[in-house]
Structure 1
């Protein structure tokens, strides 16, 4: 059974040349052959067959067995595909690290506008779930400003306790009247706290990117919903939100 044309096309996209394909296909069928027999069976010129075989060894498609004469056997297709994937990931990691900063520099210099998706969540139950998810999903940093303590903060105490176990750096700004609050005192080893007269909003920032701003209490007294949340996940909105938080934090 010969390899179908669509399979050959897919192999070429993975890096196989025409000669690579015919040699690999032949070895899969015959199991083990020397270079002269391979050249005869595949019509690959003998003057080029060693060059191509060495290339296939380097790419991880086949193995050379030393002897007189040396022979060649195919690697398992699974091993070959895993090797291609690993090589691709390695090259992607190296090359993306090289180009990322220069290209982002050009992007920052030239861009004038960019769209970002936002989500709006209505109702207390849906927004509390969303707040908890932002906290749970944080893996490096979490910043929060909470003005509606009774409505929001009391609902997320357990999630904040877990931040210490995950080694997430957490900073929270609350109303000054809560400095001696029981919930706050029990969380002193899980987060840093600062206090102010009246925090300006309810804002949660996870990992400097995932931002949730929640309006509740007096902010929505003229609306039918008891809570409205606006969430965004974008590097730029995260940067601006974190800058607002940092300026507030540093001045307390």
Structure 2
């Protein structure tokens, strides 16, 4: 009697299959006794009173005082408003109980919520996170490889091949000092351009995760990276990458 979309919507707000059958039958047939409704809806008679009780409790139907009792459908709009008001009331009660009881435990434990930004130190730690971000990419991967990261690029190549096979679009900015061997390998799985004088480098995955790689003499050339799971920062990094890409130089060969 109703579309699959409407059925799923009703199930999504907590109605069972039997409750949906009973209610929609009442909408079409009008007022019915429990026995009549069981026959016309296909809900077993052994279950019909339980189903009617739940529907009445949830505000979808009403009953009169006749013998035998007849059941009437309420307007869907009215039923939804009643259900919404009840759910909001239950949510407020649950929120008060949960926050009141659990927040003191959270505060006492000293636990911290997951941060959006991490600082990574050391090539090993940075490379581990880069691999994790690459493997989680689904649509687009942007990579800026400064000269200091050439060694890292060799370890990334098998992962980049996996992404390419999944249909992920890969774009790479490489330093002109990067070896021709590495450039050829990267060109097989990505679109590559040269860009010198990059301030660090990084990886941007699906405009939601970004790793910014920094290294300078002040840091003693120790690799340092910032990992962010922040769509705003990732979006800004993507815009800057595209700006650099427009200024970059195409390579002369593909293989």
Structure 1 residue runs of 5 or longer lacking an equivalent are 1-12, 60-115
Cα deviations across residues 195-252 of structure 1 (Å, max 9, x unaligned)? 0223221211000110101224646217xxx322211112211111011000000122
Report if the CA contact (8 A) 1:157-1:183 is conserved: no
Once superposed, what is the RMSD of the aligned Cα atoms?
A: 3.7
Deviation at 1:119, TM superposition (A): 1.0
Cα deviations across residues 141-188 of structure 1 (Å, max 9, x unaligned)? 01111112334222212112222101111111011133x621221232
CA distance in 1, matches of 2:184, 2:217: 27
Shift of the 219–245 alpha-carbon distance from structure 1 to 2, 3 Å rule, reads: farther
Task: Tell me which of 234, 239, 247 is aligned to 1:238.
Answer: 234
Deviation at 1:50, TM superposition (A): 4.8
CA distance in 1, matches of 2:120, 2:154: 20
CA distance in 2, matches of 1:50, 1:202: 68
Which stretch of structure 1 is more off in the superposition, 152-161 or 201-210?
Answer: 152-161
Report if the CA contact (8 A) 1:174-1:199 is conserved: no
**Equivalent residue for 1:165?**
165
CA distance in 2, matches of 1:172, 1:210: 16
Shift of the 211–189 alpha-carbon distance from structure 1 to 2, 3 Å rule, reads: same
Report if the CA contact (8 A) 1:201-1:215 is conserved: yes
Report if the CA contact (8 A) 2:199-2:214 is conserved: no
CA distance in 2, matches of 1:209, 1:38: 51
Other structure's SS at 2:149 match? coil
Report if the CA contact (8 A) 1:140-1:168 is conserved: yes
| TM-score between the two structures when normalised by the length of structure 2 | 0.54
Cα deviations across residues 78-126 of structure 1 (Å, max 9, x unaligned)? xxxxxxxxxxxxxxxxxxxxxxxxxxxxxxxxxxxxxx82111222211
Matched ranges for 1:184-223 at <5 A: 184-216=183-215, 218=217, 220-221=219-220
Structure 2 residue runs of 5 or longer lacking an equivalent are 1-12, 23-33, 57-62, 81-114, 249-255
Shift of the 229–145 alpha-carbon distance from structure 1 to 2, 3 Å rule, reads: same
Shift of the 219–129 alpha-carbon distance from structure 1 to 2, 3 Å rule, reads: farther
CA distance in 2, matches of 1:236, 1:118: 12
| TM-score between the two structures when normalised by the length of structure 1 | 0.54
**Equivalent residue for 1:130?**
129
Other structure's SS at 1:190 match? coil
Which stretch of structure 1 is more off in the superposition, 203-212 or 148-157?
Answer: 148-157
CA distance in 2, matches of 1:175, 1:150: 9
CA distance in 1, matches of 2:145, 2:168: 18
- Structure 1 position 249 matched with structure 2 position 241: no
